[in-house]
């Protein structure tokens, strides 16, 4: 029985039949969340996915109450949830556009060594399949140790105390921006001319394939200290790729650990794993003719703060408010303060600050979004939000500049 059926305490036989096509029309758009609440067939879990596309939205599917890409099949999603996990399995678990392919590429180099070669006809999506896309039967034939990709939530991911899980996160603004281009580039979504404003609204309300970003993140937080879980941040990979690869190799152990302890071999993996290197020969990631718009790129930019080229101030503030509300009281509530800030103060601008400036003046020049009656009371704390500086470096720099100006 599905989660919905358990909750309703109804048997499969008691379920009424229902139409495959949801009650959405261009004149009467509706979301999958609204459909779930009002249409019983979404709770039943039919054997065929319910495909829907309100006007202006990406084409998507609903399977057992969850939102998926339209090519996903119920039997594959369900079998993946219940797949047999082997002790040597490595799961790369992310929300979409949070470094998944990057990590697959790195892990294959560390584990397969010289035997790894992704190319057209032997794409990464075949060598390292997404479990919910391909299903348990396909996974049973993947060479061991299996490097498996998944966007499953913690609730649905197959679990083992011996298998290894690499969980990577990315700030939601850059994640949303990259996911927008992903939906426009993949033919399956029929969103080639989709609008940014529509997509942001869908992202913030959790109405995109693979579900809600914040639900996914929150589900993983209690597991980050488990010995078989490696937690990574996309932004840290960008800043220190070599250090990240070394950490991954140490976590994987065996031949991977031996490889990263060899400086020359480690450097080779680092050089092959940079964004520029990965942008070459992009047919090795997915079969281009099947999934992509003409001449589109799967590996696009990487990096951080590309979101600033797309978000309006209102959209940024709305994302910030949801972030604060959803992650309040968790270890994630202070993450990405610099990456998500609308304004970032460069070091050069600090030379013009006087410690007696009132907080409104500071706010206008920097990235502070709220006022305090005493500008000095929390000044040191606020320095942590400034670009390129931590607390001690920032305070020392300000004091030194202030002394020189006197």
pTM: 0.73
Q: Please report the pLDDT score of residue 177 as a whole number.
A: 97
Digit-coded pLDDT (tens) for 335-373: 999 999 998 754 444 334 333 333 333 333 333 333 334
| Contact of 136 with 77, CB cutoff 8 Å | no
pLDDT interval class at 377 (50, 70, 90): very low
Positions marked catalytic: 151
Instruction: Report the distance separating Cα 330 and Cα 323, nearest Å.
Output: 11
More confident residue, 57 or 404: 57
As a whole-number percent, the residues of the chain with pLDDT over 70 amount to 64
For residue 275, the model assigns a pLDDT of 77
Q: Please give the Cα distance from 169 to 233 (Å, whole number).
A: 5
Beta partners for residue 333, in sequence order: none
Whole-number pLDDT of residue 117: 65
Q: Is the predicted pLDDT of residue 3 greater than 60, yes or no?
A: no
Closest CA to 57 of 200, 175, 216: 200
Whether the predicted pLDDT of 150 surpasses 80: yes
Q: Would you say residue 103 has pLDDT above 50?
A: yes
pLDDT of residue 201: 97
For the chain, domains (ranges, CATH) are 3-77 (no CATH), 83-291 (3.40.50.300), 343-405 (no CATH)
Cα–Cα distance measured from residue 51 to residue 68, given in angstroms and rounded to the nearest whole number: 9
Rounded to whole angstroms, the Cα distance separating 180 from 196 reads 7
Task: Give the Cα separation of 166 and 146 in Å (integer).
Answer: 13
pLDDT on residue 123: 64
Q: State residue 252's pLDDT score.
A: 98
DSSP-derived secondary structure for 133-158: HHHHHHHTTSPSSPEEEE---TTTS-
d(CA 29, CA 23): 9
Q: How far apart, in whole angstroms, are the C-alpha atoms of residue 255 and residue 249?
A: 8
Mean of pLDDT over the chain: 76
Is the four-CA dihedral 62, 66, 67, 71 of positive or negative sign? negative
Residue 7 host element (H or E): helix 3-8
The pLDDT tens digits of the residues spanning 12-70 come to 333 333 343 344 433 444 444 444 433 333 444 567 888 999 999 999 999 998 999 99
Which of 33-42, 65-74, 137-146, 172-181 has the least mean pLDDT? 33-42
Query: What count of residues does the chain have?
Result: 406
Tell me, what's the pLDDT at 118? 57
pLDDT, residue 122, reads: 58
Q: 5, 24, 6: which is closest to 15 by C-alpha?
A: 5
Q: Does the pLDDT at position 219 exceed 70?
A: yes
β-partners of residue 52 are 60
3-state SS, 286-301, equals CCHHHHECCCCCCCCC
28 secondary structure, DSSP code: B
CB 216 within 8 A of CB 95: yes
Measure the CA–CA gap between 154 and 214, rounded to whole angstroms. Answer: 12
Asked whether residue 259 carries a pLDDT value surpassing 80, the answer given is yes
pLDDT of 57 reads 96
- CB 93, CB 104: distance < 8 Å: no
Look at strands 147-150 and 164-169 and give their pairing: unpaired
For position 99, what pLDDT does the model report?
93
CA dist 229 and 28 (Å) reads 44
pLDDT band at 381 (very low <50, low <70, confident <90, very high): very low
Tokens 């039943």, located at residue: 44
**Running DSSP on this structure, what letter comes out for residue 351?**
G
User: Which tokens in the block code for residue 327?
Assistant: 């992650």
Number of H helices, E strands in the chain: 21, 7
pLDDT in tens, 298-316: 444 556 789 999 999 999 9
């Amino acid at each position: 029985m599905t989660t919905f059926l358990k909750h309703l305490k109804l048997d499969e036989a008691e379920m009424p039949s229902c139409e495959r096509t949801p009650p959405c029309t261009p004149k009467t758009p509706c979301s999958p969340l609204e459909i779930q609440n009002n249409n019983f067939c979404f709770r039943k879990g039919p054997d065929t996915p319910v495909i829907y596309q309100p006007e202006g939205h990406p084409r998507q599917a609903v399977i057992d109450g969850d939102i998926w890409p339209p090519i996903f099949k119920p039997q594959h999603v369900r079998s993946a949830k219940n797949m047999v996990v082997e002790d040597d399995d490595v799961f790369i678990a992310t929300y979409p556009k949070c470094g998944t392919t990057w990590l697959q590429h790195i892990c294959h180099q560390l584990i397969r060594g010289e035997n790894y070669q992704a190319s057209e006809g032997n794409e990464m999506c075949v060598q390292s399949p997404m479990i919910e896309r391909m299903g348990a039967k396909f996974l049973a034939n993947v060479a061991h140790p299996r490097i498996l990709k998944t966007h499953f939530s913690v609730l649905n991911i197959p679990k083992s105390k011996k298998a290894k899980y690499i969980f990577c996160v990315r700030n939601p603004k850059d994640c949303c921006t990259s996911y927008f281009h992903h939906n426009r580039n993949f033919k399956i979504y029929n969103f080639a001319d989709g609008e940014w404003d529509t997509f942001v609204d869908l992202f913030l309300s959790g109405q995109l394939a693979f579900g809600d970003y914040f639900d996914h993140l929150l589900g993983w937080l209690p597991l980050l200290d488990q010995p078989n879980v490696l937690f990574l941040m996309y932004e840290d990979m960008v800043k220190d790729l070599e250090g990240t690869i070394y950490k991954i190799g140490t976590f994987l152990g065996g031949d991977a650990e031996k490889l990263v302890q060899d400086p020359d071999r480690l450097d080779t993996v680092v050089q092959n794993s940079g964004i520029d290197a990965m942008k070459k020969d992009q047919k090795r990631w997915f079969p281009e003719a099947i999934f992509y718009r003409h001449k589109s790129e799967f590996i696009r930019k990487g990096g951080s703060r590309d979101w600033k080229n797309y978000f309006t101030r209102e959209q940024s503030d709305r994302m910030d408010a949801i972030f604060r509300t959803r992650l309040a009281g968790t270890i994630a509530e202070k993450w990405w303060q610099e990456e998500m800030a609308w304004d970032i103060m460069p070091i050069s601008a600090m030379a013009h600050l006087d410690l007696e400036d009132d907080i409104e003046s500071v706010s206008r020049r920097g990235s502070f979004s709220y006022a305090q009656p005493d500008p000095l009371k929390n000044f040191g704390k606020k320095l942590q939000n400034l670009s390129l500086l931590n607390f001690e470096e920032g305070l020392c720099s300000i004091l030194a500049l202030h002394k020189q100006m006197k």
